[in-house]
Chain A
Amino acid sequence: MLAEIARGLWLTLKHSWRSRVTVQYPDEREEMPKGYRGLHKLLRWEDGLERCVGCKLCSAACPVDCIFVESAENDPARPTSKGERYASVYEINELRCIFCGYCEEACPVGAIVLGNEYEFCQDHRDKFLYAKRDLLVRRTEDYPELKARYDEKRLLTYV
């Protein structure tokens, strides 16, 4: 028995020299895997127009019904999106969302994607109701990691 315990002690001693497996979270972060499904982002085209054309396919595809879209006609003089219509209201209830990614798959223009962000705690339920201004990115180029989320060639462009 003593020999076995000595062997165990030696093993634990060896382990104490290994490099640590801990990620010191707030100080260091692990890079998210490529397919990670975090907080939603609404993307724009490179010229700054919104990708979303207000087709509501995401809302239809959503299994928990957490996306609410209302669309409106584009003003031909100053269009918001490249299609006929755009989303005048686009809301996601992030508490309800199960981050399945169906919205992303349903989207014909690659407008809605699930990003890498996972730190969006709030202290009140109401704050999880993300409106369009919370979801819409300023410039898609600022999020190079989202590039891998959609296949440009697959997109049905409404242009």
Chain B
Amino acid sequence: MADLAVMLVKVVAAFGALLLLAAYMTWAERRVFALVQVRYGPNRVGPAGLLQPIADGIKLMFKESVIPAQADKLIFVLAPLVSLVPAMAAFAVIPFGSSVTLFGRQVDLIVADVNVGVLYIFALSGIGVYGIVLGAWASNSKYPLLGGLRSAAQLISYELSLGMSLLGVVLIAGSLSLKDIVAAQAHYPFILLQPLGFLLFLVCMLAETNRSPFDLPEAESELTGGFHTEYSSMHFAMYFLAEYCSMITLSAVAATFFLGGWRGPLLPPVVWFLVKVVAFMFFFMWVRATTPRLRYDQLMGFGWKVLLPLAILNVVATAGVMAFLG
């Protein structure tokens, strides 16, 4: 019973924090954008514009949800959920701190220590694609459909390299559990052993979350809004949240695999974890503010001809060195 209560508290706290962070990342993104463009960004609602996400949320909630007459209504409504739920659920296996003692109980700061955590994350991010494709198809409109098709092709191509780029770390740590991977980085972060893997992961995670320069599924200059063209109100907000949640989750994965997760000197583990995640989020925004969108053939060519061979090379080299060292 007590275990269940602890579990519930952890789930609520982790997902509450995730949602809050995702909401505030929309604010942060606009501020970072403005920073690069020599503007201020939202700074009117509350101090430094900090209440902006809440104002946006209220606005979206009170907007009318328009469902196109020709749309497949059930799938149209469910698709954003299919995107959002896996994006949030993937966060469950990420350790966001060391264990703490609460009311005389040892509590690990991880929602679920799955022994195949890496696979779990990839499985869920694979499901996330369905949300986009289903939503795109159910809209019964050409722009979303094109966006959805691109999304499917892009995610399939880049998920391979994404998984491969993490395999090196898995080989070194000898475990698929994220908790063990953090434990294996007690002395030094794996970025030192896997610089290529880190770089590959960085690129793939941009593509995996449909972020610039790989934001072809929602390329607004050619596809209006891409897969979410027909969406409005909270259905749209769910897609938006899903994008930010998966960004946060992948940032957390990057921090966990390459930067030692919650490990760090002086500051408490949870703070270190947050610092690393936010740093990756800043990277996402920084890149988006800098790069133009890739052309579709460049995207595919880069994914299959550059990233994948490099990722495979990285895995083979790592495995070779591991075997050599015994």
Chain A residues engaging chain B, CB cutoff 8 angstroms: 5, 8-9, 11-13, 15-16, 18-22, 24
Interface stretch, picked from B32-40, B96-104, B170-178, is B32-40
Asked whether A15 lies within 8 Å of B40 as measured between CB atoms, the reply is: no
Q: Provide the bound-state CA to CA distance between A149 and B32, in Å.
A: 44
Interface stretch, picked from B180-188, B246-254, B285-293, is B285-293
Residue numbers in B under 8 Å from A9 (CB-CB) = 286-287, 290
Chain B residues engaging chain A, CB cutoff 8 angstroms: 32, 35-40, 286-287, 289-291
Q: Which 3 interchain pairs have the tightest Cβ spacing?
A: A16-B35, A12-B36, A12-B290
Secondary structure type dominating chain B contacts: helix
With A5-B291, A13-B286 given, can you name 8 additional A-B contacts, CB distance below 8 Å? A5-B287, A5-B290, A8-B291, A9-B287, A12-B36, A12-B289, A15-B35, A18-B38
Asked whether B37 lies within 8 Å of A15 as measured between CB atoms, the reply is: yes
CB distance from A81 to the nearest CB of B (A): 47
Q: Provide the bound-state CA to CA distance between A11 and B287, in Å.
A: 11
Can you spell out 25 A-B residue pairs with CB atoms less than 8 angstroms apart? A5-B291, A8-B290, A8-B291, A9-B287, A11-B290, A12-B36, A12-B286, A12-B289, A15-B35, A15-B36, A15-B37, A16-B32, A16-B35, A16-B36, A16-B38, A19-B38, A20-B38, A20-B39, A20-B40, A21-B38, A21-B39, A22-B38, A22-B39, A22-B40, A24-B40
CB distance from B287 to the nearest CB of A (A): 7
CB distance from A22 to the nearest CB of B (A): 5
CB distance from B288 to the nearest CB of A (A): 10
Q: Which of A9, A12, A18, A24 has the most CB of B within 10 A?
A: A12
CB distance from B15 to the nearest CB of A (A): 32
Q: Provide the bound-state CA to CA distance between A12 and B32, in Å.
A: 10
B302 and chain A: residue at smallest CB distance: A1
Q: Provide the bound-state CA to CA distance between A20 and B34, in Å.
A: 9
Q: Provide the bound-state CA to CA distance between A19 and B37, in Å.
A: 11
CB distance from A1 to the nearest CB of B (A): 8
Q: Provide the bound-state CA to CA distance between A15 and B290, in Å.
A: 11
Residue numbers in A under 8 Å from B38 (CB-CB) = 15-16, 18-22
CB distance from B294 to the nearest CB of A (A): 10
Q: Provide the bound-state CA to CA distance between A154 and B24, in Å.
A: 62
CB distance from B54 to the nearest CB of A (A): 22
Q: Provide the bound-state CA to CA distance between A24 and B39, in Å.
A: 10
CB distance from B302 to the nearest CB of A (A): 8
Q: Provide the bound-state CA to CA distance between A5 and B298, in Å.
A: 15
Residue numbers in A under 8 Å from B287 (CB-CB) = 5, 9
Q: Provide the bound-state CA to CA distance between A16 and B286, in Å.
A: 10
Q: Provide the bound-state CA to CA distance between A21 and B287, in Å.
A: 22
B35 and chain A: residue at smallest CB distance: A16
CB distance from B196 to the nearest CB of A (A): 12
Residue numbers in A under 8 Å from B39 (CB-CB) = 20-22
Residue numbers in A under 8 Å from B37 (CB-CB) = 15
Residue numbers in A under 8 Å from B40 (CB-CB) = 20, 22, 24
Residue numbers in B under 8 Å from A20 (CB-CB) = 38-40
Q: Which of B35, B39, B286 has the most CB of A within 10 A?
A: B35
CB distance from B128 to the nearest CB of A (A): 26
Residue numbers in B under 8 Å from A5 (CB-CB) = 287, 290-291
Q: Provide the bound-state CA to CA distance between A9 and B37, in Å.
A: 13
Q: Provide the bound-state CA to CA distance between A12 and B39, in Å.
A: 13
Q: Which of B32, B36, B39, B286 has the most CB of A within 10 A?
A: B36
Q: Provide the bound-state CA to CA distance between A16 and B37, in Å.
A: 7
